[in-house]
């Protein structure tokens, strides 16, 4: 069931976004079927907060600077994602393995981007765009958690670290050692901790000193040679540097 006041605010914004010359109180009232007496205080609040503006002479409402700032922020995020996609495609072209991007959502990794090689896959992975997996047993997740101290991590998992395979880390002290290594080397590693037969390396992506996402490459165990893992490490660290050199403000 929708929340009427919120619905009205969103309807106003949607309406003004397609009527760039602006609309009067009466016109808005007729289109969204809300009485002027109910509509006016909503418009007044939105005007006070600069989400819309009222023309002094025309008495028409138009979108305001706050709405523009939100739109600009979205455009910037979109640019960031396109930038990361280009890096991911380059990695996949070079290494012929799956590359993914994830963000931390609570105590899980949320997978938001994925690039696959054109050749057919010969191993099943359980992650996909929109999938959530526990952060502590994935390379992406450990990269995202690398700036957390162990007490913060324990609060994320009050019931402990549940094993998914025999290789899953279930000891907080061992996990803490992994996170310390990631902070020093900027590379997270996972060997069959969430999926049998699959290894994964990842790097944290930082903006203004904060880890905002992580980038990974997944490799079937039988292809995870020393040479390939070294190549993956170099590609991911290079991607991390490229990301860090761009100002997404």
pLDDT in tens, 2-58: 678 888 898 899 888 878 889 999 999 998 889 999 999 999 999 888 788 888 788
**C-beta neighbour count of 81 within 10 angstroms:** 14
Q: Which two tokens stand for residue 209?
A: 């000193």
pTM of the full structure = 0.68
* pLDDT for the residue 218: 93
Residue 33 lies in a domain: yes
User: Is there a single domain that holds both residue 134 and residue 203?
Assistant: yes
Tokens linked to 109:
């990794």
pLDDT for 123 equals 56
Residues 217 and 106 in one domain: yes
| Cα-Cα-Cα-Cα dihedral sign, residues 98, 244, 148, 82 | negative
Beta strands in the chain (DSSP E): 52-54, 61-63, 98-105, 108-115, 132-134, 188-191, 198-207, 210-220
Task: Look at the block and give the residue holding tokens 């706050």.
Answer: 66
> Averaged over 188-216, what is the pLDDT?
91
pLDDT at 133 over 80: yes
Domain that holds residue 171: 74-244
Q: Look at the chain and report how many structural domains it folds into.
A: 2
Give the mean pLDDT of 197-206. 94
Q: Could you tell me if residue 47 is inside a domain?
A: yes
pLDDT of residue 132: 84
State whether 88 and 59 are in the same domain. no
Provide the strand spans (E) within 5-107: 52-54, 61-63, 98-105
Tell me: do 40 and 95 sit in the same domain.
no
Tokens representing 38? 């109910």
Residue 157 lies in a domain: yes
CA geometry: angle at 113 spanning 153 and 150, to 5°? 10
Give the tens place of pLDDT for each residue, 183-201: 999 999 999 999 999 999 9
Sequence-distant (≥ 6) Cβ neighbours of residue 48 within 8 angstroms: none
> Does 180 lie in the same domain as 143?
yes
pLDDT exceeds cutoff 70 at 69: no
Owner of token pair 């991390």: 240
Residues 91 and 208 in one domain: yes
- The Cα 91–Cα 33 span in angstroms is 52
**pLDDT digit string, tens, across residues 144-166:** 999 999 999 999 999 999 999 99
- Whole-number pLDDT of residue 6: 86
What is the SS3 assignment for 109? strand
14, 110: one domain: no
Phi, psi of 61 (to 5 degrees): -90, 135
CA distance 225 to 97: 13
Rounded CA-CA distance 76/242 in Å is 17
Neighbouring-strand partners of residue 109: 104, 133
């Amino acid at each position: 069931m929708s929340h009427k006041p919120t619905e009205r605010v969103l309807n106003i914004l949607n309406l003004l976004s397609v009527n760039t010359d602006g609309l009067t109180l009466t016109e808005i009232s007729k289109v969204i079927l809300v009485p002027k007496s109910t509509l006016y205080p909503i418009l007044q609040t939105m005007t006070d907060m600069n989400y819309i503006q009222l023309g002094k002479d025309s008495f028409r409402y138009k979108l305001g600077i706050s709405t523009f700032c939100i739109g600009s922020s979205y455009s910037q995020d979109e640019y960031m994602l396109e930038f990361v996609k280009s890096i991911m495609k380059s990695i996949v072209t070079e290494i012929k393995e799956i590359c993914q991007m994830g963000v931390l959502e609570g105590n899980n990794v949320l997978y938001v981007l994925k690039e696959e090689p054109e050749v057919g896959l010969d191993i099943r992975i359980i992650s996909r765009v929109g999938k959530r997996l526990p952060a502590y047993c994935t390379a992406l997740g450990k990269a995202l958690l690398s700036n957390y101290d162990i007490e913060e991590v324990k609060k994320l998992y009050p019931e402990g670290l549940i094993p998914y395979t025999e290789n899953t880390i279930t000891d907080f002290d061992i996990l803490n050692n992994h996170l310390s290594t990631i902070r020093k080397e900027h590379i997270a590693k996972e060997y069959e901790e969430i999926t049998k037969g699959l290894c994964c390396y990842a790097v944290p992506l930082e903006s203004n000193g904060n880890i905002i996402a992580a980038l990974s490459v997944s490799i079937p165990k039988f292809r995870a040679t020393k040479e390939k893992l070294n190549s993956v490490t170099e590609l991911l660290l290079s991607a991390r540097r490229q990301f860090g050199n761009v100002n997404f403000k």
